[in-house]
Chains A and B, each alone.
Chain A
């Protein structure tokens, strides 16, 4: 018998055996979700780390330029985006909790709520881009804008990808593909979303704030 508090991520047999023996709350020996998604997440974080390092390097050679043009960025929009992503992550956590209790409909609703936060992010970011492009700013304007646009656009694409993944998970959840015993897909999708959020939480202070 599985106690609701025990995170069930689809263990191998030995794990479930020890759970069934009635021992105390077992924590999963493996991260939640498919191991492949974790390899992928680590790879993604690695690439973003590389970009951030490149940003730091470029900035150290162009401090005045970076400081000046950073002022032109819309920090309020970035704040809204930060709150949107964090709220989205919270909704995703609720979605995973829901499916762990076999509450399929709640899971789907929380996922849709997370998607709406993602959409909000995209709209706000798009607004920022529209403003920049309207002023004739492009990747070739100067090194600061090259990095700012590259980093945020690369992240923007990841938000879209995260939303596609959550939408796919919501779709499958709606059709009953997941249960309290088996919901690796939900956890994989959730983990990926959290990564996208985490990257923003580093990007935002680095590019918008620190000077």
Chain B
């Protein structure tokens, strides 16, 4: 009936629309997958970087920090910390190593993870790799 609209037409639009956009999304995912190698710095994924990512996950760094803007908002963005610390892995490693185990009184505190030097290096490598991903000029400045 024109002038009314039927439940079955609404149903058809739902199923048709869902399938249509799912296919579009898959098509865009295909294109993204092909375009990523030029953007995602995958050439820099060494075993150290892998290890660093694993340590990042096993210690739930994302639970306080953001990485490329995603995560928790308690502590600074670390996607560009390598740049912010003057392109220095040592500065990053030094910071993590120097966290007091009982925190800083009254201030937001980072745990002391007791990482080995190898682990610290891996984390720094991971953060360096992250900083070289092409994130379309984000963040707007070095503060993250």
Contact = CB atoms under 8 A, between A and B. Distances in A.
B1 interface: yes
Given A34-B5, A35-B4, A35-B5, 20 more contacts: A9-B2, A10-B1, A11-B2, A11-B3, A34-B1, A35-B2, A35-B3, A36-B10, A36-B13, A37-B13, A138-B31, A138-B34, A140-B31, A153-B27, A157-B24, A161-B16, A165-B16, A184-B1, A184-B2, A188-B9
A76 interface: no
B6 interface: yes
Interface string B1-22: 1111110011001001000100
B115 to A, nearest CB: 38
Contacts of B16: 161, 164-165
Contact of A32 (B2, B5, B9): B2
Nearest to A38: B5
A4 interface: no
B2 A187 contact: yes
A157 to B, nearest CB: 6
A22 to B, nearest CB: 22
B3 to A, nearest CB: 4
A202 B20 CA distance: 22
For the side of the interface on A, what is the size category? 20 to 34
Contacts of B1: 10-12, 34, 184
Nearest to B31: A139
A30 B1 CA distance: 10
A191 B3 CA distance: 15
A34 B23 contact: no
Contacts of B2: 9-11, 28, 30-35, 184, 187
A140 B20 contact: no
Contacts of A37: 5, 9, 13
Contacts of A39: 5
A36 B24 contact: no
A69 interface: no
B24 A34 contact: no
A32 B1 CA distance: 9
Contact of B3 (A12, A153, A187): A12
Contacts of B13: 36-37, 40
B35 interface: yes
A126 interface: no
B35 A138 contact: yes
Nearest to A185: B9
B29 to A, nearest CB: 12
A157 B23 contact: yes
Interface in A136-183: 138-140, 153-154, 157, 161, 164-165
Contact of A34 (B6, B31, B35): B6
A61 interface: no
Question: Which 5 residue pairs across A and B have the least CB separation, nearest first?
Answer: A36-B5, A30-B3, A35-B5, A36-B9, A9-B2
